[in-house]
Each structure stands twice: as C-alpha cells, then as structure tokens.
Structure 1
C-alpha cells in the first residue's frame, strides 16, 4: 500500500453539529443505518444496470449476477456490506461521501434550521443518509472500484466522523463498493444474525436485488450465502401478472390480518410524477379504529426502499381504515414526518389517492352492493367524518352514505340518498332527518307522528358523528336537509289541518296558548299550536337557527359549556288530554298540568330532567286530584 497516496481531508467545522442534528432530529431509530447503506448499494447496482444498457460496449463483460452481501464479524465487531454495483471514482467518492464538506455545511445547517418546511429539498440535495452509519459505528471504511476503470485501481475512504476523513488509492480486484462499519461498544447487538435479518425484512424486503448474509461452516471451513429478502416488490409487477391469491398474501404480510381484504386498488403511474400505490380496504375494523389519534396511514417506500410506517400524510383521517403502500420515485429517502406534512408533492398525491379510493368505493357500491354493505357496516361511521373534513369530495362521499329510515324494515343502514329521493311524496321539498341517541329512540319519537300519517320517509340518525355531519351536509342534488326536531315552514305547507280546526278564530284556543306562555314564561322561547302530532299532546322543538339537543349533548360530553336551549312548545289542541285541561276551572291545577306536560316533552326530547323528583311530585299530585 502506497502511503504517499493517503491524504487527510478536513470537513468544515460544522460537520459535528450536522451529525448531531441528523442523528437526534432526522432519525428516530438506530437501525436505519443499514437501510441507508443497502439503499446506496441498490442505487449503485441500478446505475450499473442502466450503464450496461446505455453503453454496452463499455460494460458488456460485466455479467455477474447483481447482489448485496452482508457479513458479520463478532471477533472484530464489524459489519461489512458489499455490492457489485458501479462503484465510485475519486471525484465521485469526494462528491458522494464528502457532499457535506463540498456543498457548505454552514449554509445547509442554516437553511435546515430556519426553513423547516423545506427540509425535504435540502436533505435530498445534500444526501446525508450515508452519515447515519456513525450512529452505530466509531469508524467507517469504504473500499470502492469503479466499473469503468480498466486497471484494478481502487480507493479507500475512512473516517471516524469527527471532522476529517482520509482517502488513498489501493488495488481492488472486484468492481463495486465494500463498506466496513467498526461498531461502537454499545452497538454489538447489530452483530446478531437475527437482528440483521429483522432489519432487512422490515426495511428492504422488497428491494428487487437479492440481499445475502454470510454463513460460516466450522466443519467444512467454508462460507456460504443465504438470501434474506424476497427481492420481489409485488406492487411493481403489472396488475395482469399478479394473481388474486398473491394480492391477498401480500395483504396478510403487510397487515397481519387473518381476514382477506374486501377489495384493493393498485395503480402504477408514470410521467411527470412517478409513483405506485397498492391500497387495501379490510373486511373488518381494528379495535383501535375509532380513535382518531391512533397510528394509521400508508407504508412509505422510496424507489422500493422502505422509509416509514403509518405515513398519515397521504390520506385524510376519514380514510384511516385503508391499508397499503405508496412507492414514490420522486421523494428522497432521508425524509421525516414533518417534512411530509408540508411537501407540495405529498399534497398532490394525497388528492389523487383520496379520489382513487372514493371512486373505488363508488364502483363497489354499484357493482357489488353486498360487499359495499359489508364495508359500510364496518367503516361507515368513519367515512361520515369526510363530509365535514373533505369539502372537495363531499358530493362523492354523499353518494356513498347509507341510512336507516322510517320506512326501512330494519335497523341496518342501507338506504342511499338517491333512493331516498325516489321515495319523495307529492309537494315534498326537503330531505327530512331526525338525530337521536339510539335507533329505538328515534323510531319511537313523537316527532315522527305526522310523517307516519302522511307516509313521508325520515332518515333516522343515531351515530355520535351524525349531528356533527349534518351541520355540513346541507343539501343533496339541490334538495335541502331538514331536521324534523326544528321548526320548518315547508312541512307546514304539506300538512293539511284537520277539519274544524281554526285556532286563529277560536278564542278558547288562543286563550289557552296565552295562558301557557304566562305560566312557562322564560322557560320557553314560544308556545304554538301544531298539526304535526296525532297521538302526543305536546312536543318541544328548537328554532331553525338554534343549537339542536343532540349537538348540545355532544358539546357537553366533550367538556364544553353550552348555554341552555330555549325550546318552542308545540301543543296538539285535538288531543283528548289537552281538551280536558282547557276545561279545567282551577288555575292552580292548570298550572300543574302545563308544567307537567312541558317537563314531559323535555324528558322525551332530552332523555333526562334537571329535577326529576319535582316532575314525579307533579304527577302524584295530579293523580290524587
């Protein structure tokens, strides 16, 4: 070895600061050093593949099968990663492994710290991934020989990551690159074969190049190599060449779900933006699906190299049930979650992937309604969140919604809004709905009485998200939604008052209404005669612009203070009980009756009373009378 060729190069003084920042801020776990090294090896092999195709005259003799090999030396505490890729020239090794020094570390650090939103571009540009090796290594040695060099001249690059590196020319027999990591005393766990296999399986299983690990036979004194990755990225294979079983097997591998997926969406996109997506919709929800804060998202690959799990930035929260991978050719490997958050490329991918999933569900509901119903039963309550969260796709999501209704024979939500519109009665102007705490409570609500009588269908909503959703779902196909627990003039137009009812000209009725107002005073917003009741004497409704009962309950459950709702009391003057009360002479008894009826209506509406004991005493007093 000619020591004269060995030269020491000094990194700029900021390199230690950069390494510290990278190790502690840009990387969350130590094991990704191997991902970075394997990724570089994979890139080197891909470059040689390209060179063989583009310059066959220069590279035609290089016919060895491509591979990446890993050997562990427990005695010397080293990990060696070897590839037979294109290798590096002297200029390239300085550029590639000395990028930080060459490009200006100080400028890089300033931009990295001041412009967090642009970290993605900086990290890709400066290519600091190789330096993740210093997370586990006290010294790194790189032996490399470029494939295009006619002689066997190679290079040795070495550094302890403390501000300098050495470079010398040495003879190397084989083309490619060999990286030796001299591990720190605290990192010897990475000398275990199972550990390396685990990391390769986790991060690099679907790299198309075989990754092998060495095995030494003590008896025969020979070294053999075992392949430890599948070397087959299923998503990169044309769809026509993948069987249904292979799709299902990959889903099982990806999710560990014992159930087969309900359906999947596989797209390979080339052009200005190159990416592959393979997304699955499961048959059943997981136990933590309802928690919006729990981990979810797609598995992110860059150029077939695993980058991270649970990349939530590619899909909106209301599609958190979707499992799968996204493999981008345009993103850098050294990317963090906060970088993904503000990347315009990611935002565009998010729009495209969201649309693809929603269109796939649209196709599923049209062509396989039974499958879609199964999907809705499991994930409908989550999809409903999209009405509020995704205004751009609100129309598509609206068409995917399913409801229970007054005219449906069962509790299952299987009525689409399109089918609801088909059942409109004459003069119906709006889509009527009722929110309640349970299906049973809504089905037996007195609000439905006039709708039953006039055969008008009403959507029955009892999921916790429904009240929130309906604040954003204002119309469908130009038909407005109307809560039947609120005042509504359009409904009054549809209802024909019963014969002989002329409250405007009836002094007795008018007098009773005024008396009720005087008794209840500030407890109500108004008292009115209603024609919407048939079997119930009184009901309370909210004004069209006031907060509904269910919304108030949601806010209260969330720990927020809500102002008391002032209800409108509507009285069914034709009810026998009201007819009897009108004729009572005792003002004291009338007062008790009216207060009791009002609290009765509140109990039906809210499900509880502030003072139930007082309500019971009124009833007992009336029974005694």
Structure 2
C-alpha cells in the first residue's frame, strides 16, 4: 500500500501546538508518557492472551526497550505488547479522539502559568504528543498481535501525518524520536545520554511491573596494549541493562516506599500531573487476602459529572494485571478515587458480569469505601486545610452516597460540611451545628437554593435571621435530593424552612403574645376569600410565622416535592403530578393588613382580587419561581402603580 498523507483535525492541530509549546515546564516527562503507554500495551496483551488462546501472540518475554543513537540523534521506545491495527492508529494516534479536546484547549488558554497548564495534561490523554517537545519528527511502527501487517505513522507535528502499511513490522509498537540538538535554548538535556535516560526512568517509572531495558551501545575493541587485554582481542558482548526495580509498591513495606514513588505511581495510573492529596494503603488477611493502594486526587477532573467518565480501580490478581477501571471495586460516589487492588484468589479470566455477582468483590468494595471515608475523617480531624481542599473538590459527588449507600450514610454525614448562617466564610459539620443549637431548638434547619446570596435573601429566612437561629445553606443540585432521604442526624430532624408550618416562638413568647387565635379570627375572612380566588394556583392561604419583613411567601407542604426537585425530575424525563403550594401571609405587613381591612369593607371590589393575584406573584418571584402569565402580571402591576401615583 502506498504512503498516504492526512491532516490533523483543526482542534487536534491547535492542541498539538499548545502541547509542544505551553504545557510541560519539565520536558523529561515525555519519556514517562511513552513508557506508560508501552506498559499499558503489555498489560493489554497479557490479558488478551489469557482470554484468547488462538491469539498466537508471543508473551514469553514481555518488556519495554529503550534504544538511543547519539550519532543519529534518535531515541526509540519499543514494546512487544498488544500493538495497533491500521484503523486503531488513525483513531488513537492520527487524531486526538477523546472527548473534551475543545474544552482542554480553552482551559489551557485560560491557564495563567505553566504549573496550572501542566495540571491539565493528564485529563485529556494527550501524553503521546509530548514527544514533539523534544523531537523534530516522530516515527511510530506498530503491528497488532494476531495480525500479519503493520503500520508506520510519521509526523513532524506541523499539521499533517503519513500512514503506510508495512510487511515486516514486529509485534508491538516502537516510537522513534528524531531529537532536536542538545544544549539549545529549548532543549537543555541530551536525551540520547545513558545517564539521563537512567535518571528519568528511575524517577518516573521505577514501579512499572514490566522490565524496562536499555539496549547496550555497540561495544568497541580496546586499543592494542590495553591492560588486561591481548592485542586484537574483541570486546565482550554487553547485555541490555534493566533500569527499573519492577517492585509493586503495594507489595512493599511502608518503610521501603518514598512519598515520591507513591506519587509517581498515582500519576502513572491516573494520567494526572499533580500529586495526590492523600495516599491510602490497605492489607486484608484471612480467608480472602488482598492488598490495596488507593489515592485521593488533589483536584476534581473536568468530566467527573459527565456520563462517559471512566471510573474505577485497577484490578490485579497475584500481581498480574486483569482489568482497568474496575467499577465494581468502588461505589459511584467515590468514583474520583484512583489506585490498585491486588487480590489473591480471583480467577484471571474474570469478567465484569462475574465481578458484579462475586461476593468477595462486594466485600472488598464495602471495605474500600469504609477505608476512604475513615481517611477523610482523619483529614478532617488532623489536617483541616487538606480536608477543605477535599471537600471543595469532591464534596458534591460524595453527597451522592447519602442516597445510594445507606450502610455508610452516618459515616458520610460525619465527614460532610455545609455552608450555614453561622459563619459566612467557613462551612460547618452537622455535629458542630447540633452543639450550637439554641435551648429548646428541636430541629436542624436548612434551605436549598441556587446560591448562598439567593438563600440569604429568601423571605423564608426572615424569622430565623431575626431570632438568630442557624440555618444550613444548601446550594448543590444533589442537596435537593438527599435531604428528602435523610430524615435526621443524631436524633435531630432535618427540616426545611420552606416546607410545612413552623413555630419558632419560645414558651415565654407564646404565653406573652396569646394573640395567635385572635389574629387567626381577625384574618379568617381574608384567608378564605383568597384561598377561593387563587384556588387554581395554591393549595391554601394561611398566616405565616416565618415572615418579619416580606408581605407573603410560598411554601411547600411537609411531604411535597420542592419546585427545584420537580424540575430535576422533569429534566431526567420523569414527569411528576402537579403540586400546588401554600401561600403564607405576614399579618404584620401593611399591605396584608390593608388588604384585610379593604376586604372587610368592600369584599366585592374587583381590584382586591387583582391585588391578591399580585401578592401571590410577588411571593412566587421572591422564591425564584416562574409566573404562569408574566405579561398579565406586568399589566396588573403597572395599573396598580399608576393608581398609587
């Protein structure tokens, strides 16, 4: 087949230039990226060979080989792993075929410095393109295991690449970099130097489970007369040098592993560029043995809440890689956790269907979840700054567990923090809230909304602000759902300030006032009349104990869904039956008392009905709701303002 030339996609071409010129402040990492890709290819071949006896692949000596040629200025990274077909090269190498390319480019342009830019690289799978930071040309030669023909891909990173089919390609993949000259302004190191290659491999890839070998430089015969050599004697052949220890970090004792080694393993398996926030080790012994090395990242990936987010833990069986992104090992609300689990008694030919039903997997899943939650609790107690980082990045997803993991609900609540009216800067735990509760207060009060500012300005908050009663301010979409599923904390009911009837008066206030019944009778006629006039929109009109400033507000009945929750269900395609809300009036407001007096004097005045309609519309708007007929509301408001003038 003849050589064909292709153009990169527009976004891919732009991204290539940014990768080359903007992302990495330390260019050494290009070798780490290529070695990681090679390691993944070897893992995939081992697994494929276990599953398919007819593959016909050579798995006798799986390894990664590095070969440097100082004269030709080339560095080759070669593996005998799974390799790629012609179509796979087009999909995986010729284009940047992962979602989010445009978003990555936007975030990269917005990055203020190299450190923040470098933090984006692992999120988009573009590590292969880091080769162009140090190379004028990249040649990729690959043949997929089980196929007879290979593929050669060549590009200088300038916008095009060539592809051709070759007949004599070995199994696996080799990436040859035609390096730029050393000691130039943008190339400070000689990447054909043996000591530099050793340094990079030791620093970044020592934990790789496959041998990384450096091909020996051609040996030359010693000069005649050299000590210990007879004249004309040829130099002894030199063996390839293995550069990495290949020790699984999770199998080594804690004293043998440095923090830097843990961090490099995390970066290898997560494709992140930033050190993890916390490293978690777990070793289970007994009837079912396994080891786990888990990591809590320092930042949330951009696609954490997207449907295609790849979550899960790497699964090994007796140190043999079995599965990447094993979702069954970690519940969805902990999907940000990365790491490795190495089990002793599972079948190597395990499938995802078997994993879903395997009792041992389920036991591991529960144990790992408890370990992560206990680690977060330790962060909360011992390292408040790191806990604050954790909650800022992952609190929203962790709260999903309040719905899905009833066994660990108390543990999740214990490590959760919420904004509250107690402190505008620092969030609070439920435990701290309960400790601060006023004498006689029976409930933990909360209010959901789009933002803190919107909640603080809500009419529902007026009585609580006046009496100094703390309210949790819940602004995450998931808050609308979990508060319906969690009835109480440490015996204290969780209660929305926007639902049901509230009685915030102390016993002394109730005795001193003694006017409630009289006030109810005083407004009974207005309440009945308004309930009838607004019956298409509201379930009931009643007097309010939660308002001190606003004339009216709308509230949901105790067991009804909130409008925000109804909207969420509709967005998911689940239509709920329409629910009428309750209109509450502030009897101390001049507008309400004036309307009551006017109704007593001229109940049949048509303008009173319009005023009642306007009062309901104002309450609905103050709650963030939508008017049924905005044009009619505006017309009525303009008419009443005109009469007032």
Length, aligned pairs only: 463
Give 1:506 shift.
Answer: 6.4
Q: What residue in structure 2 maps to residue 533 of structure 1?
A: 547
Compute the displacement of 1:335 (Å): 2.2
1:607 aligns with one of 614, 620, 625: 625
Question: Could you say what secondary structure the match of 1:362 adopts?
Answer: helix
1:624 aligns with 2:634: no
Residue 398 of structure 1 and its aligned partner are, at CA, apart by 0.5
- Aligned with residue 366 of structure 1, among 369, 377, 381: 381
Selected match of 1:395 from 410, 416, 441: 410
Structure-2 separation of matches of 1:368 and 1:30: 39
Distance 2:301 2:346 in 1: 30
Residue number among 425, 437, 450 corresponding to 1:424 in the alignment: 437
Of the candidates 429, 444, 449, which is equivalent to residue 436 of structure 1?
449
Whether the aligned pair in 1 keeps the contact of 2:520 and 2:543 (CA below 8 Å) is no
Task: Select 1:225's aligned residue among 235, 240, 245.
Answer: 240
Q: Does 1:259 align with 2:274?
A: yes
| CA drift at 1:499 | 4.2
Normalised by the length of structure 1, the TM-score is: 0.67
Residue 586 of structure 2 corresponds to residue 564 of structure 1 = no
Three-state SS of the structure 2 residue aligned to 1:532 is: coil
Structure 1 residue 522 displacement after superposition: 3.2
**Structure 1 residues 206, 338: CA separation in 2 closer, same or farther (over 3 Å shift)?**
farther
Query: How far apart are the structure 2 equivalents of 1:612 and 1:263?
Result: 52
Contact 2:333 2:401 in 1 (8 A): yes
The C-alpha deviation readout for 1:26-57, integer Å capped at 9, x for no partner, is: xx999844467799xxxxxxxxxxxxxxxxxx
Say whether 1:461 aligns with 2:474.
Answer: yes
Task: Name the SS for the 1:590 alignment partner.
Answer: helix
Residues 292 and 386 of structure 1: CA distance in aligned 2, closer, same or farther (over 3 Å) = farther
Of 461, 470, 474 in structure 1, the residue corresponding to residue 487 of structure 2 is: 474
Quick check: 1:590 aligned with 2:608? Answer: yes
CA contact (8 A) 2:413 2:430 kept: yes
8 A Cα contact 1:428 1:494, kept in partner? no
Structure 1 residues 372 and 517: alpha-carbon distance in aligned structure 2, compared to 1, 3 A threshold: same
1:518 counterpart (521, 529, 532): 532
Counterpart of 2:559 (choices 538, 545, 551) is 545
- Rounded to whole Å, the distance in 1 between the matches of 2:556 and 2:410 is 28
| Contact 1:386/1:394, CA 8 A, preserved across alignment | yes
Secondary structure at the counterpart of residue 626 of structure 2: coil
Structure 2 counterparts to residues 131-530 of structure 1, below 5 A:
136=146, 188-190=169-171, 192-193=173-174, 210=211, 224-227=239-242, 230-410=245-425, 414-488=427-501, 491=504, 496=509, 499=513, 501-504=515-518, 507-530=521-544
**2: CA distance, partners of 1:240 / 1:191:** 37
Structure 1, residues 136-174: CA drift from partner, whole Å, max 9, x if none?
279xxxxxxxxxxxxxxxxxxxxxxxxxxxxxxxxxxxx
Q: Is the 8 A contact 2:219 2:238 kept in 1?
A: no
Cα 1:186–1:307, aligned 2, differ >3 Å: closer, same or farther? Answer: farther
In structure 1, runs of 5+ residues without a counterpart are 1-27, 40-65, 72-78, 82-133, 139-184, 196-200
Deviation at 1:423, TM superposition (A): 1.3
- Alpha-carbon separation, structure 2, partners of 1:37 and 1:214: 27
Residues 465-512 of structure 1: per-residue CA shift (max 9 Å, x gap): 101111122111011111111114564677946848445466542221
Q: CA 1:619/1:30 → structure 2, altered by over 3 Å: closer, same or farther?
A: same
Please give the alpha-carbon distance, in whole angstroms, between the structure 2 residues aligned to 1:264 and 1:301. 18
Q: Is the 8 A contact 1:430 1:480 kept in 2?
A: yes
CA contact (8 A) 1:268 1:277 kept: yes
* Residue aligned with 2:303, SS: coil
Q: Using the alignment, how far apart are the partners of 1:394 and 1:187 within structure 2?
A: 59
Query: Judging changes above 3 Å, is the alpha-carbon distance between structure 1 residues 460 and 384 closer, same or farther for their aligned structure 2 residues?
Result: same
Q: CA deviation at 1:223?
A: 7.1
SS at match of 1:570: strand
Q: What SS is found at the alignment partner of 1:583?
A: helix
Which structure has the bigger radius of gyration? 1
Q: Which moved more, 1:305-314 or 1:496-505?
A: 496-505
CA distance in 1, matches of 2:369, 2:622: 41
For residue 51 of structure 1, what is the aligned residue in structure 2? none
1:545-593 CA-partner distances (Å, limit 9, x unpaired) = 1111221121122233233221111111111111222232552121111
C-alpha change, 1:242 and 1:30, in structure 2 (3 Å) is closer
SS in 2 for 1:318: helix
Residues of 1 paired with 2:549 and 2:442: CA distance? 25
What is the alpha-carbon distance in structure 2 between the residues aligned to residue 376 and residue 328 of structure 1? 30
CA drift at 1:605? 2.1
Paired residue secondary structure (2:485): coil
Residues 334 and 207 (structure 1), Cα distance of their counterparts in 2 relative to 1, 3 Å cut: farther
Using the TM superposition, give the Cα deviation of residue 323 of structure 1 relative to its aligned residue in structure 2, in angstroms: 1.1
| Contact kept in structure 1, 2:420 and 2:471, CA below 8 Å | yes
Maintained 8 Å contact 2:266/2:276: yes
| Segment drifting more, 352-361 vs 237-246 | 237-246
Q: CA deviation at 1:68?
A: 7.3
Tell me, in whole angstroms, the C-alpha distance in 2 between the residues paired with 1:505 and 1:535. 18
TM-score normalised by structure 2 residue count: 0.65
